[in-house]
Structure 1
Amino acid sequence: MDNEDEPVEPKAPARSRGRPRAGAEGDAPDAGVGRDALIDATIDLLKTSPPSKITPVVVARHTGVHPSLIRYYFKTRAALLVAVAERVTQRFAQEVDAAAQDAASTPESRLCARIGALIDLNASYPFFHQLIVSEIAMSDDPAAHEMIAKFTNRGQAAYGQILRAGLADGSFRGMDPGLLYVAAIGMSEFFVSARRQLEIAQGVAIDEDEMRAAYKAFVCDLVLNGVMKKD
């Protein structure tokens, strides 16, 4: 017969469904890794890996945390990639603002500064455009569609503002800002892969910094010759 006076060992309190503990589920300590650190780690991966290869498990391994931490902050892989795209576009906007401040305030210099920053963006993050096209735009996540709309509308509006300024001072002719936006993205995105193609064709290594500077000047001249008002 059981002894009714025998002390009953208290049960451990149930753990709430919150942020995973350091070392949870066999994980190494997360060392305070938070949402921003996970976004930055994914951006770091995006410099060398196509977005199709970037999964929560890969990001967790790269960061040294358990995948449950990524699920806690982002719920889904799509949400993580949207956050990454937003962070990269914020950096691009900051670079454009900095370039515009360094340039003269003419429509020509503002246009060249924007295109140059776009080329730098694609050179720094060679898989960024692929992220936008193959992951964000193709996602069913409403947040992804919102991000695409915001990014695209902001870019078209910026080119439209520059073109209107050029029309006002008589330096530019009329042009569709949406098509200029598309053309600038296309010329900027192809830069990284084109360098490798030229290296193979010419049989010599090409200095990336030198080629980027020359390419930015070339594209700027090409676009300006297209938008400048003809006499």
Structure 2
Amino acid sequence: MPRSKIVVDTEEPPASGRARLLEATSQVMRAADSLEVPLSDIAAKAGLNAALVRYYFGGKDGLLRALLERDAGASLAELDHLLEMDIRPSKKLRYHLAGLIGTYYNFPYLSRLMIKLLHEGSEEERQRIADRFLKPIARAYEVIVAEGKAIGEFRNIDPKLLYFNVIGTCDHLFSSSVSLKYCYGITEVDDALKRQYIDQVVTIFLKGVLVDGA
């Protein structure tokens, strides 16, 4: 009796409806350069019925909160790893700046999304977002600045203000791409421009943060 042939399926399983809706939301918002995109466009991009947004997320607000978790959660884990590394504080800051700009390059709507959810959420939701996403970054800056001061590498800078310095600078190229278009005729932040921006931001910040001769 001939042996039956074993067929190995090498195709990856299709993404779940939840994952497809999240990725579609990300793609549609990037293409529109706006958070105000209709569910019909998101559903069409995902190839799913718009009613599934309510099924998976409870509505559009839940979808946006889940997208924030998807896009920002991994960066927070990387920040924890960075803090544990046995390297100089200046290198931690350098790597963090590059990583943060890379995150905004991949998800240029991220800062606007967080601000929207903070402004429109309940007091409880605002506190949850702050505890989950904002405070870990603020604490990381406190640690890095304290380490830098302790070894005489950093000037006497305020980590609270550093938070706003860093987030505002790293995000602005991506959240204000319309300015880039109408001031400089640049319609897209490509990889080369991203790398140039990283180099310039890192140079400016380190020259401002490090003591002379460090």
How does the TM-score come out when normalised to structure 2? 0.77
Task: From the superposition, tell whether residues 144 and 66 of structure 1 become closer, same or farther in structure 2 (CA, over 3 Å).
Answer: farther
- Supply the distance in 1 between the matched residues of 2:54 and 2:186 (Cα, whole angstroms): 46
- Supply the distance in 1 between the matched residues of 2:182 and 2:154 (Cα, whole angstroms): 39
- Supply the distance in 2 between the matched residues of 1:157 and 1:216 (Cα, whole angstroms): 23
Give the stretch that moved more between structures: 214-223 or 153-162: 214-223
Question: How far off its partner does 1:199 sit?
Answer: 6.8
> Which structure features the higher share of helix residues?
2
**Which of 92, 95, 110 lines up with 1:128 in the alignment?**
110
- Supply the distance in 2 between the matched residues of 1:75 and 1:206 (Cα, whole angstroms): 34
Instruction: Identify unmatched segments of 5+ residues in structure 2.
Output: 1-13
Contact 1:199–1:205 (8 Å) recurs in 2: yes
Contact 1:46–1:125 (8 Å) recurs in 2: no
What is aligned with 1:68?
51
Deviation readout 1:163-206 (Å, 9 max, x if unpaired): 11111211112222121111111111122367775676566899
What is aligned with 2:67?
84
- 1:47 matches 2:27: no
Question: How far off its partner does 1:230 sit?
Answer: 4.3
Question: How far off its partner does 1:43 sit?
Answer: 2.1
What is aligned with 2:121?
140
- 1:182 matches 2:164: yes
- Supply the distance in 1 between the matched residues of 2:177 and 2:121 (Cα, whole angstroms): 34
- 1:56 matches 2:51: no
Question: How far off its partner does 1:146 sit?
Answer: 1.0
Give the stretch that moved more between structures: 69-78 or 34-43: 34-43
- Supply the distance in 1 between the matched residues of 2:17 and 2:80 (Cα, whole angstroms): 28
State the percentage of identical aligned residues: 25
- Supply the distance in 2 between the matched residues of 1:47 and 1:205 (Cα, whole angstroms): 13
Instruction: Identify unmatched segments of 5+ residues in structure 1.
Output: 1-30
- 1:162 matches 2:149: no
Aligned residues: 197
Contact 1:60–1:67 (8 Å) recurs in 2: yes
Contact 1:136–1:148 (8 Å) recurs in 2: no
Deviation readout 1:19-70 (Å, 9 max, x if unpaired): xxxxxxxxxxxx88432332222222232231112x4332222112112211
Contact 1:108–1:224 (8 Å) recurs in 2: yes
What is aligned with 2:8?
none
> Structure 1: which amino acid aligns with 2:20?
A
- Supply the distance in 1 between the matched residues of 2:64 and 2:188 (Cα, whole angstroms): 32
> Structure 1: which amino acid aligns with 2:48?
V
Moved over 6 A (4+): 193-196, 203-207
> Structure 1: which amino acid aligns with 2:154?
F
> Structure 1: which amino acid aligns with 2:35?
P
- Supply the distance in 2 between the matched residues of 1:207 and 1:43 (Cα, whole angstroms): 17
How does the TM-score come out when normalised to structure 1? 0.72
> Structure 1: which amino acid aligns with 2:76?
A
What is the 5 A alignment of 1:97-112? 100=82, 105-112=87-94
RMSD of aligned C-alpha atoms? 3.0
Give secondary structure in 1 for the equivalent of 2:120. Answer: coil
Contact 1:96–1:117 (8 Å) recurs in 2: no
Deviation readout 1:64-107 (Å, 9 max, x if unpaired): 21122110111121111011011110232355567x49x97111
